[in-house]
Amino acid sequence: MSTKRKANSLGEFLRVHRLGEEMSQVEFAKFLGVSKQRLCDIEHDRFAVSIKLAKEFAKKLDLPAEWLVKLALQDQINKEKLSLKVS
């Protein structure tokens, strides 16, 4: 059985990535260029990440911007309770 699955939100993706890198919130927040509180809010889906910020995170994490932008957009759609899926 595979343990890989899609992240349900950008916040979940960042939290799992941070834990995989064995970084504290303080260390990871500094790396991403945000406050620890902002990272905490993102990880707990209390803050909607803009497309611009998602692109900045992707660049710092050396990931394709499209991956994190899609997650950020889907988060915003879900928050509005729309039955749309970003593909």
**Tens of pLDDT, residues 21-65:** 999 999 999 999 999 999 999 999 999 999 999 999 999 999 999
Please give the tally of structural domains in the chain. Answer: 1
Q: How far is CA 41 from CA 11, 14, 34, in A?
A: 8, 11, 11
Residue 5 — pLDDT band, cuts 50, 70, 90? low
Does some domain include residue 1? no
Which residues lie closer than 8 Å to 62 by C-beta, 6 or more apart?
A: none
C-alpha 28/C-alpha 3 separation (Å) is 24
Q: Is 0.85 surpassed by the pTM of this model?
A: yes
In this prediction, residues 6-26 reach a mean pLDDT of 94
Question: Domain limits at 54?
Answer: 10-78
- Check which CATH number belongs to the domain holding 16 and give it: 1.10.260.40
Tokens representing 7 are 């992240």
C-alpha 42/C-alpha 9 separation (Å) is 9
Q: Above 90 in pLDDT, residue 87?
A: no
Does some domain include residue 3? no
Does some domain include residue 5? no
Q: Above 50 in pLDDT, residue 2?
A: no
Does some domain include residue 83? no
